[in-house]
Amino acid sequence: MEGGMKATRARFHPWAWLLLPALVAAAPAADRSTPPGTHVLLITVDTLRYDRVGFLDRRHVRTPSIDALAGDSLVFRRAYAHNPVTLPSHANILTGTTPLHHGISDNTGFKLDGRFPTIARCLKDHGYSTAAFVGAFPLDSRFGLDQGFDLYDDYYGTHGELELFFVERPAQKVVDPALSWIGGRTGKWFAWVHLFDPHQPYLPPSPYRERYPDDPYSGEVAYVDAQLGRLFDFLRTRGLWQKTLIVFTADHGEALGEKGEETHSYFAYNNTIHVPLFVRIPGRAPGVSDVNACHSDIFPTLCAALGLKAPPSLQGESLLDILAAGRRKSPEIYFESLTAHLNRDWAPLRGMISGDTKFIDLPIKEVYDVSKDPGEERNLAASSPIGRLKDALNRLMRRLRNPQAAVRDQRLDPEVRKRLQSLGYLSESGSGRRPRSYGEKDDLKTLLPLQNRMLAGVARYQAGDLPGAEKTLRQVIAESPSFILAYNHLASMFKETGQADRATAVLEEGLKKNPGNIRLMSKLGIVLAESGEWRRALPLLEHCSRQEDFDPENFNFLGIAYYRGERFKEALENYARALELDGNNASVYNNIGSVHLQLFLRNGGSQEFALAEWNFRRALEIDPRMFSALNGLGAVYQRTGRTAEAIACWEKALAIKPDYDLPRVNLGITLMQAGRAAEALEHFLEYRRRFAATMPEKEKQRIERLIAEARSRL
List of E strands, 168-243: 189-195
Cβ atoms of residues 12 and 271 within 8 Å: yes
Whole-number Å distance between alpha carbons of 253 and 117: 26
Whole-number Å distance between alpha carbons of 433 and 435: 7
Q: In which band, very low, low, confident or very high, does the pLDDT at 8 lie, cut at 50, 70 and 90? A: very low
Whole-number Å distance between alpha carbons of 380 and 378: 6
Mean pLDDT, residues 103-128 taken together? 95
Whole-number Å distance between alpha carbons of 274 and 374: 9
List of E strands, 116-199: 129-133, 151-153, 189-195
What is the separation of C-alpha 490 from the centre of its chain, rounded to a whole number of angstroms?
20
Q: In which band, very low, low, confident or very high, does the pLDDT at 405 lie, cut at 50, 70 and 90? A: low
pLDDT at 10 over 60: no
Quick: pLDDT tens for 547-581: 889 899 999 999 999 999 999 999 999 999 999 99
Task: Single out the residue of 656, 589, 595 nearest to residue 620, CA to CA.
Answer: 589
pLDDT at 62 over 60: yes
Cβ atoms of residues 39 and 190 within 8 Å: yes
Quick: pLDDT tens for 221-277: 999 999 999 999 999 999 999 999 999 999 999 999 999 999 999 999 999 999 999
In a 13 Å sphere around the CA of 483, the CA atoms on its Cβ side amount to 25
Task: Single out the residue of 337, 333, 336, 335 nearest to residue 448, CA to CA.
Answer: 337
Instruction: Read off the amino acid at residue 462.
Output: Q
pLDDT at 430 over 50: no
Cβ atoms of residues 526 and 161 within 8 Å: yes
State the pLDDT at residue 168: 85
Cβ atoms of residues 86 and 94 within 8 Å: no
Task: Single out the residue of 570, 605, 565, 612 nearest to residue 591, CA to CA.
Answer: 612
Q: What is the β-pairing status of strands 274-275 and 189-195?
A: unpaired
State the pLDDT at residue 427: 55
Whole-number Å distance between alpha carbons of 398 and 400: 6
Whole-number Å distance between alpha carbons of 616 and 650: 13
Query: Which residues make Cβ contacts (< 8 Å) with residue 99, sequence separation at least 6?
Result: 82, 83, 88, 91, 92, 105, 336, 338
Which residues are registered as beta bridge partners of 293?
A: 79
Which domains occur in the chain, in start order? 72-330 (3.40.720.10), 585-714 (1.25.40.10)
Q: What is the DSSP letter of 281?
A: -
Kindly give the interhelix angle for 568-581 and 586-603, rounded to the nearest 10 degrees. Answer: 160
Mean pLDDT, residues 310-335 taken together? 96
- Give yes or no for a cis peptide into 207 (omega within 30° of 0): yes
Query: Which residues make Cβ contacts (< 8 Å) with residue 82, sequence separation at least 6?
Result: 88, 89, 92, 98, 99, 273, 294, 295, 296, 333, 334, 335, 336
Cβ atoms of residues 159 and 192 within 8 Å: no
Can you spell out the DSSP letters for 480-536?
A: -TT-HHHHHHHHHHHHHTT-HHHHHHHHHHHHHHSTT-HHHHHHHHHHHHHTT-HHH
pLDDT at 647 over 90: yes
Cβ atoms of residues 533 and 557 within 8 Å: no
Quick: pLDDT tens for 700-711: 999 999 999 999
Quick: pLDDT tens for 595-638: 999 999 898 888 999 999 999 999 999 999 999 999 999 999 99
> Helix or strand or coil: residue 362?
coil
pLDDT higher for 422 or 288? 288
Task: Single out the residue of 518, 464, 465, 530 nearest to residue 488, CA to CA.
Answer: 518
Q: In which band, very low, low, confident or very high, does the pLDDT at 9 lie, cut at 50, 70 and 90? A: very low
Phi first, then psi: give them for residue 517, nearest 5 degrees.
-65, 120
State the pLDDT at residue 584: 87
Quick: pLDDT tens for 431-449: 444 556 899 999 999 999 9
Mean pLDDT, residues 143-162 taken together? 82
Whole-number Å distance between alpha carbons of 270 and 611: 53
Instruction: Read off the amino acid at residue 391.
Output: D
Whole-number Å distance between alpha carbons of 518 and 507: 11
State the pLDDT at residue 498: 86
Cβ atoms of residues 487 and 509 within 8 Å: yes
Q: In which band, very low, low, confident or very high, does the pLDDT at 36 lie, cut at 50, 70 and 90? A: low
Query: Which residues make Cβ contacts (< 8 Å) with residue 13, sequence separation at least 6?
Result: 51, 57, 59, 375
State the pLDDT at residue 7: 33
Mean pLDDT, residues 11-19 taken together? 35
* CA angle, residues 144, 147, 151, in degrees to nearest 5: 110
Cβ atoms of residues 671 and 710 within 8 Å: no
Rounded to the nearest integer, the mean pLDDT of the chain is 90
State the pLDDT at residue 694: 81
Mean pLDDT, residues 368-390 taken together? 97
Percent of the chain with pLDDT over 90: 81
Task: Single out the residue of 644, 649, 686 nearest to residue 665, CA to CA.
Answer: 686
State the pLDDT at residue 37: 73
